[in-house]
Structure 1
């Protein structure tokens, strides 16, 4: 088709290509085998022309056509385009992740392994940027299973690079070095290899192995032909910082030159790195100049919405201006807003220990002063402290004993309930269900007396007894994350998509079996309630472990609940199960806007 060939001709202006596409679509009228391809090409042109409303409209037409004609390739490519749109234009990473996942599902239908692996790679990058490093590693491992070692070397190398980055964020420096080395060996792209080499050098810099980092960066800088590029400035900045860390006073010249290049090419993220390194270099010798760099760093970080960079700047400002409480308050506010990611936990505990030590030292100093003034009073007070301490210890031990016994009783009660459920399940399955099945068999083989209605009724009763048996049956608590995945997979259907994040073995480490069973039953109740009542097409479950708490978030886009609507038995049972394991369940229904359930309980 001549119009189609003109439409995909990159040498023609975009508007002219769109006219050819419209002509080809008018002639095709939905009957052509390339109609879906034409619609996707039109969506691509709308995106390139920034005609985003038209992109949505044409996308809906493409979706309907592709679903009716089973053109999963065109639909998957369109959903990939929408993921790219939300990532680059709306900056809505949740929608971008959703569309990447939808595209992956379309490519699974046509067994396009390369595209499946690439979409998983894109999803992992979103997870990494949202600080879900464990989830990102799981997604990347899945991506490796789809990529071909001979055909997809570029993307396999990228997967290794992302795995290294996530390990680095989790402070697993040895694994990070190994994966960066794999990425360097795997890639056939000189540009990508240079990027991976620079990343490898940064790991050595973080470990303060500056000589090793310097050796890598020196060779790398000489191999970059474009001396005014973003990549050249990045390597130059890292090399100059390494030289400064090794005691070279002339290294700041390179830091300034890297900053100048980044300004020329409008690399704002690179400028943040330059200002950070310059501020650190001038912190002690030129504090006024360092303050200027930090102020600029904060301005850019707010413009780009990168709170991590502002936190780094505030750390240096607090060292420069120790009495400025505004810096401390802003630093604490930013830390709280980032939800205390796992990498900050050790720092927070260290701060708590430091504050407690200062407090104890102050108490001891006060006690020593009072003892000097009045020895007799100090002795009396010491005796009171001893008595009070002993009393407190005894009271605390009594409280702990009572608490332990109550918890033990509760655990035994939960185990008794679970044992009873299993016993009932076995009896229902082995006795009642089998007896009903025997009656059905006799009715079917004794002609003349059976009634279709009786057989149907018995079949219904038989299925209900099997359902009861399965609902109260055994739960594999040893491989609990796999049990939950298997449970959730039962509710995945063409009309209901279930997205699960963070469901990994480490979340349930050292969690009591009776709590796992209660959670399993509660999630089962939620999924049954969703299937029966919600009419949801999208369900999201996320699992997180923070400190000694496990947080489960359930969200669907179903019909929700009316404000005056009472909770059914399913939801009440779910609340009771969570309450029995010392947890809380927060229900946030909105009529016609879906249901949100938040579950929080101690491990």
Structure 2
């Protein structure tokens, strides 16, 4: 009877709508739209549900292409999804995409792309699903739709998790959570916490995983206060309790794991209404008890779980139970039964391509089947390598899809464009203004460079005068030193020699005393001669003038980052052998390097070292700043000058830089 009345209602509705022609008044058209908007799409529980949906979708597709019709088509598509009519769901979603593109409705285009992502995710075509979710997310971001941006980001993270890339899944869940936490959608925030906790569990970050599972449970409590659907709440709690138990199980804290499995099993009417979840919790609890050493009734729990999974044809549940039963018999030292169940579990796991169960069963067979140990060991290595290879390929595939999604231009116009003439005119004005600004900047830059050049030339003249003054001072010092040496040699030495000679000729009653005086005078003569020779040869000369100039330069440095500058000059460098012109180049190189460090490096320490290496001098300037890429950096005047001065010195320039090790400039000449 329900079906009969529903069909009559549909017929009356269609008659009313088909009576509305384009020439009829607006009031009648609005009445039709209102009736469509209020039309109840909920379906009766009989064999005519699919036919009803077919009839409704055909009717809606004949109507005017507006947002109301498209929204109703989305509702119809959702009902197809609930009925597992996946092909019709995809076909209708593609049709809605075409309608939305015609009207340039970005919101509905994004929604239809998200629907297609759900379709491919349901059919385990993860790469296609990821691609559609990425396109949808991009459109929602452009629309500044925080809720749906967060939703699609969460769905993307879920796809990545299903592919086994848990690190990227964690990052995706965090990005989704950042968006969804700004909304009032408690359910999506719960799903973000749950996915983040699951990713952390798989990455063995157990402490953080448990923290996010607690946050997920808090969100479920909020949903309960918001009168959220009770059945969905129970399913979510089952999932949380089971996953928390799995975390403790991985930590080998089996007592805590058992407590959470028992919490899940204690939920009302679990066995009756959720037999699949009941079997899963039962199987996991039995495994934890077995690991804890409590074998009481373990076989009953495991076989009960297996029976339920078998009756409902839950392949993964059957595999898990059989492997667990096999492990139970291993504890009971019944190797024959154990290997039988584990082998069955392995074969089924292989059939359904359940990687973790394949690995686990092969490991048990390798350890316990002595007869086929080598075979299973080789197979274990092969399967493990294969799984890792697939994970790497999948990881690269998703990265490539994300890149291509960002690079490909949208196939259709998404946003309404302004008048072409206005855009063109604005572009020309912007280009002209840009050109004027560029010319202004170029002139300003040229003036600045000219000023810098003049300043450098002035500085070089001042430095040349300083060096000339230093040279004159040194020359005067040498002349005075030579004069003193001559006085010592020609005057005092001769006097001492004469005195000594006369003393020798002198007759004395005390021959010993006389000889002592002669010896003393001879020593004095030799000492004066040595001092005179040293002064003449300038062996004690140490040219401190250039290092002092460098010290003054380094000590005067200050910047906003409070960089500490240190100078070290090798005492064995003979600066007298270095031409004045070359000293200027050395000074300028160090000055420019220090200036670059002040401006760009943000360093805490900067060391300037001048070292003697054989017959060469090495200038090494290092700072612990942020570094730069020497290959990509554009050579400015400063670096160009350093390069040119190095060439004049006939030296070799080497620059190494990174964010971790700072920057090192080294010149050897």
TM-score, normalised to structure 1, is 0.53
Q: Please, which of 261, 268, 271 is the counterpart of residue 227 of structure 1? A: 271
SS in 2 for 1:227: helix
Give the CA deviation at 1:436.
7.0
Partner in structure 2 of residue 298 of structure 1: 346
Partner in structure 2 of residue 309 of structure 1: 357
Cα distance in 1, alignment partners of residues 92 and 263 from structure 2: 50
Partner in structure 2 of residue 184 of structure 1: 217
Kept in 2: contact 1:36–1:62 (CA 8 A): yes
Trace 1:235-384 onto structure 2 (pairs within 5 A): 235-250=281-296, 251-284=298-331, 285-322=333-370, 324=372, 325-339=374-388
1:251-307 CA distance string (max 9 Å, x none): 222111111112222222222222222222112511111112222212222232222
Cα distance in 2, alignment partners of residues 117 and 164 from structure 1: 17
Kept in 2: contact 1:7–1:18 (CA 8 A): no
Cα distance in 2, alignment partners of residues 196 and 46 from structure 1: 29
Cα distance in 2, alignment partners of residues 150 and 436 from structure 1: 45
Give the CA deviation at 1:24.
3.2
Give the CA deviation at 1:141.
0.8
Partner in structure 2 of residue 469 of structure 1: none
Partner in structure 2 of residue 208 of structure 1: 252
Kept in 2: contact 1:241–1:277 (CA 8 A): yes
Give the CA deviation at 1:219.
3.5
Equivalent pairs counted in the alignment come to 362
1:449-468 CA distance string (max 9 Å, x none): xxxxxxxxxxxxxxxxxxxx
Partner in structure 1 of residue 97 of structure 2: 63
1:80 aligns with 2:114: yes
Q: 1:441 to 1:185 in 2, by over 3 A?
A: same
Comparing 273-282 with 46-55, greater Cα deviation is found at 46-55
Q: Please, which of 48, 53, 56 is the counterpart of residue 17 of structure 1? A: 53
Give the CA deviation at 1:341.
9.1
Trace 1:46-125 onto structure 2 (pairs within 5 A): 58-89=92-123, 91-125=124-158
Kept in 1: contact 2:248–2:257 (CA 8 A): yes
1:146-171 CA distance string (max 9 Å, x none): 22477322222222222121112111
Q: 1:67 to 1:192 in 2, by over 3 A?
A: same
Partner in structure 2 of residue 156 of structure 1: 189
Cα distance in 2, alignment partners of residues 279 and 219 from structure 1: 26
Q: 1:100 to 1:255 in 2, by over 3 A?
A: same
Cα distance in 2, alignment partners of residues 15 and 126 from structure 1: 32
SS in 2 for 1:27: coil
SS in 2 for 1:283: helix
Partner in structure 2 of residue 379 of structure 1: none
Cα distance in 2, alignment partners of residues 64 and 237 from structure 1: 48
SS in 1 for 2:179: coil
Give the CA deviation at 1:39.
4.6
Cα distance in 2, alignment partners of residues 109 and 83 from structure 1: 19
Trace 1:13-52 onto structure 2 (pairs within 5 A): 13-28=49-64, 30=65, 32-41=66-75, 43-44=77-78
Give the CA deviation at 1:236.
1.4
Cα distance in 1, alignment partners of residues 111 and 438 from structure 2: 52
Cα distance in 1, alignment partners of residues 437 and 203 from structure 2: 57
* Pair member with larger Rg: 2
Give the CA deviation at 1:74.
2.5
Give the CA deviation at 1:210.
1.6
Cα distance in 2, alignment partners of residues 255 and 138 from structure 1: 37
Give the CA deviation at 1:319.
0.9
Kept in 1: contact 2:286–2:301 (CA 8 A): yes
Q: 1:440 to 1:217 in 2, by over 3 A?
A: closer
Give the CA deviation at 1:96.
0.7
SS in 2 for 1:146: helix
Cα distance in 2, alignment partners of residues 6 and 208 from structure 1: 55
Kept in 2: contact 1:237–1:254 (CA 8 A): yes
Partner in structure 1 of residue 242 of structure 2: 198
Kept in 2: contact 1:114–1:148 (CA 8 A): no
Give the CA deviation at 1:50.
6.9
Q: Please, which of 148, 165, 174 is the counterpart of residue 207 of structure 2? A: 174
Give the CA deviation at 1:121.
1.7
Give the CA deviation at 1:61.
4.2
Kept in 2: contact 1:240–1:255 (CA 8 A): yes
Kept in 1: contact 2:147–2:183 (CA 8 A): no
Kept in 1: contact 2:316–2:354 (CA 8 A): no
Cα distance in 2, alignment partners of residues 215 and 7 from structure 1: 45
Partner in structure 2 of residue 146 of structure 1: 179
Trace 1:503-582 onto structure 2 (pairs within 5 A): none
Trace 1:453-464 onto structure 2 (pairs within 5 A): none
Q: Give structure 1 regions of 4+ aligned residues with deviation exceeding 4 angstroms.
A: 2-7, 41-61, 340-343, 433-436, 438-442
Q: 1:16 to 1:7 in 2, by over 3 A?
A: farther
Kept in 2: contact 1:4–1:24 (CA 8 A): no
Partner in structure 2 of residue 130 of structure 1: 163
Give the CA deviation at 1:27.
3.4
Give the CA deviation at 1:125.
1.6
